[in-house]
Amino acid sequence: MTTTAASRVVQVSSEMDIVRVRQAAREAAVEAGFSLVEQTKLVTAASELARNTLVHGGGGQVSTELTVQQGRTVIRMVFTDSGPGIADVDQALADGFSTRGGMGLGLGGAKRLVDHFAIETGPDRGTVVTISSAARRGRRR
Amino acid sequence: MIIAAHGEAGARLRDFLDRRRDDIIGSWVETGFFGEAAGDAAADVRADCENVLTALSHVVETGNLHDPAAEPFQEIRALLGGLAAQQARQGNTAAQITANLTWLKEPVLRLWLDEQPEGQQRTEDVLALSAALDTLRLVVMETAVTEGADIIAHQQQQLAEMSTPIIKLWKGVLAVPLIGTLDSMRSQAATESLLQAIVDQQAQVAILDITGVPAVDTMVAQHLLKTAMAARLMGAECIISGIRPQIAQTMVQLGIDLGEVATRASLSDALAYALNRVGLSVTPAQRG
Amino acid sequence: MHQVGEVPVLDLGGVLLVSIQVELLDDTVLALQQDLTERVAETGARGVIIDISSVDIVDSFLARALRDIAAATEVLAARTVLVGMRPAVAITLVELGLTLPGMTTALSVERGLELLDTRLDENYPTRQG
């Protein structure tokens, strides 16, 4: 059984919006009953990806939604931009690669912090990154 | 064959369930499915029966007989989950719990057959009633399984927390005796509680003692290394102790490198090193 | 007291104490990086303590800035000590692969100050950790 709660969308066009994306991720993680470490991982991944959306994608939007799958709450975040896209995804995911400062760990690092990571991109096609994570532990009661 | 109760049939069945409410509830209470109806619990058991019957009567009226996700069933999910959990605690499996639900079906069908004249309509209606009750079973099975998974997850977590005691050896020195096979959940729980204890007690040194760990594979070594790196980021130092000779050999063979993490053969060596790190030394007492 | 954005920088007589209490914008991080380096040069501080005990996430951008602050102050003969990193933040950084090698860390501001004092006593010791 899958039920979907209303999704929340944050427009990303300034640095302040990166903070808003972090807050949206935090609120969703708290609602989904994530442990503190799980919350921190998701928020950090969201921060990396939102910065990519702003800096590389020239802005875009981030949607956050909670779904319940087989009794587990799953958080799904989608980062969409219509920027120049990424020509070589494998290279972008590899540690150490960066076209702009950072430690080149934006994409690859974010991927390691979440359960599922998917990217759709290509030259001049924009970029859509989808991540999802579920609380690992049983619900506390 | 899909049986649907529409309009007229739905109204007829709903009317029956409402009209024979007391009889149905009476027989349901007797089955014991809803728990012991003695003393103070009697009112609760009756209320539970009423709620389930109300949901069932809504379902037959709307004709949504085959959908476990139907709105009226959703409303009694928590109630059914509670009942399933109660039966699970008495040692019933999900299959038994679901089987016990036939206790609810029989009296309802019997009452209907007794009061209706024979014919095509009676047969169709009884099939519809039966379908709705079967769907109720599915809902119970689903909640029972989820409930069971929750209980298992909860117990796993308790076990994970229980099996990683953090011991204060000295002011500023902590030790975690890791025992048994380290799966990823247990090692994560161990790391989290250790790092939290480092903050709470402002411990500069933490000893991870693996004397009780039967085997160290790449995964376990990676995890120990990650724990040590996280502790270092927080401003504390990790020492790994209790590395038995054969484990040391395996680690070399696997090419596992613990890098800059201090390692000691025994817990006492690690303690001596730790005390030195916090600026203490152990000397023989002066006799006199 | 001196302030960069909403981040106060305290001069404890030879040691600059920066306590990050608010959610940082990337611009503030960059301003802080530049300001701290300048202040170390101006004041001849022997150390910088950055207290991140209130910070609930450190992403690669902030981690890189912290690393660069440490490297730049080191060139100016001042050691930067990162203090109070939360467990969840530390676990996440390790998972990200950002272990900040060479960065001096301490559990608290007090411990950070002790570390800087030790360094003075030892004249010029080897790097800790």
- Residues B239, B141 share a domain: no
How many domains does chain A fold into? 1
Instruction: Calculate the alpha carbon distances from A63 to A10, A43, A76, A80, A105 in Å.
Output: 6, 14, 8, 8, 22
In this predicted model, what pLDDT tens digit does every residue of C77-116 receive, in sequence order? 999 999 999 999 999 999 988 899 889 999 999 999 999 9
> What integer pLDDT is reported at residue C123 of this predicted model?
46
A90-99, A123-132, B127-136, C54-63: which has the minimum mean pLDDT?
Answer: A90-99
How many domains does chain B fold into? 2
CB contact under 8 A, C96 and A19: no
Q: Are A99 and A56 in contact (CB under 8 A)?
A: yes
**Mean pLDDT, rounded, of chain C:** 87
Cα B16 to Cα B24: distance, rounded to the nearest angstrom: 10
> What integer pLDDT is reported at residue C90 of this predicted model?
97
Question: Higher pLDDT residue, B154 or A4?
Answer: B154
> What integer pLDDT is reported at residue C48 of this predicted model?
96
- Chain C residues lying within 8 Å of A47, measured CB to CB: 57, 59, 61
- Residues B128, B30 share a domain: yes
Inter-chain contacts counted by CB atoms under 8 A, chains A and B: 27
| CATH number for B257 | 3.30.750.24
- Residues B155, B13 share a domain: yes
Q: Are C93 and A135 in contact (CB under 8 A)?
A: no
The two tokens of residue C74 are 């080191």
Which residue in this structure is represented by tokens 């933490």?
B206
User: Does some domain include residue A31?
Assistant: yes
User: Does some domain include residue B284?
Assistant: no
Contacts of B171 (CB under 8 A, 6+ apart): B278
A10 CA: distance to closest CA in chain B (Å): 32
- Chain A contact for C22 (CB, 8 A cutoff): no
pLDDT of B6 > 70? The answer is: no
Q: Are C51 and C18 in contact (CB under 8 A)?
A: yes
- Residues B128, B11 share a domain: yes
Q: Alpha carbon C95 to chain centroid distance? A: 21
Residues of chain A under the 50 pLDDT cut:
1, 99-103, 138-141
Q: Which of B141, B146, B226 to mutate to test the interface with A (most CBs of A within 10 A)?
A: B146
User: Does some domain include residue B135?
Assistant: yes
- Residues B132, B35 share a domain: yes
> What integer pLDDT is reported at residue B103 of this predicted model?
82
CB contact under 8 A, C25 and A16: yes
Which of residues 87 through 126 in chain A touch C, CB cutoff 8 A? 95, 101-103, 105-106, 108-109, 112-113
User: Does some domain include residue B283?
Assistant: no
**Mean pLDDT, rounded, of chain B:** 84
User: Does some domain include residue A140?
Assistant: no
Ordered by where they begin, the domains of chain C are: 2-121 (3.30.750.24)
> What integer pLDDT is reported at residue B162 of this predicted model?
63
- Chain C residues lying within 8 Å of B173, measured CB to CB: none
Confidence of residue B253 (pLDDT cuts 50, 70, 90): confident
CB contact under 8 A, B229 and C94: yes
Q: Which domain holds residue A42?
A: 2-134
Cα C115 to Cα C129: distance, rounded to the nearest angstrom: 11
Question: Higher pLDDT residue, C68 or A124?
Answer: C68
Average pLDDT, integer, range B77-92: 77
> What integer pLDDT is reported at residue B93 of this predicted model?
76
User: Does some domain include residue B208?
Assistant: yes
In this predicted model, what pLDDT tens digit does every residue of B219-229 receive, in sequence order? 888 889 999 99
> What integer pLDDT is reported at residue B1 of this predicted model?
43
Q: Are A62 and A24 in contact (CB under 8 A)?
A: yes
Nearest residue on chain C to A109, alpha-carbon basis: C96
- Residues B21, B117 share a domain: yes
> What integer pLDDT is reported at residue C5 of this predicted model?
72
Cα C102 to Cα C129: distance, rounded to the nearest angstrom: 7
The two tokens of residue C77 are 């003969």
Inter-chain contacts counted by CB atoms under 8 A, chains B and C: 62
In this predicted model, what pLDDT tens digit does every residue of B166-218 receive, in sequence order? 999 999 999 999 887 777 777 888 899 999 999 999 999 999 999 988 888 88
Q: Which domain holds residue B263?
A: 167-277
- Residues B184, B149 share a domain: no
CB contact under 8 A, B231 and C93: no
Which of residues 32 through 61 in chain C touch A, CB cutoff 8 A? 56-61
> What integer pLDDT is reported at residue A78 of this predicted model?
97
Question: Higher pLDDT residue, C4 or C50?
Answer: C50
Q: What is the percentage of chain B residues whose pLDDT exceeds 90?
A: 20
Q: Could you tell me which chains touch chain B, where touching means 3 or more CB pairs under 8 A?
A: A, C
CB contact under 8 A, A70 and B146: yes
CB contact under 8 A, B235 and C82: yes
- Chain C contact for A13 (CB, 8 A cutoff): no
- Residues B139, B48 share a domain: yes
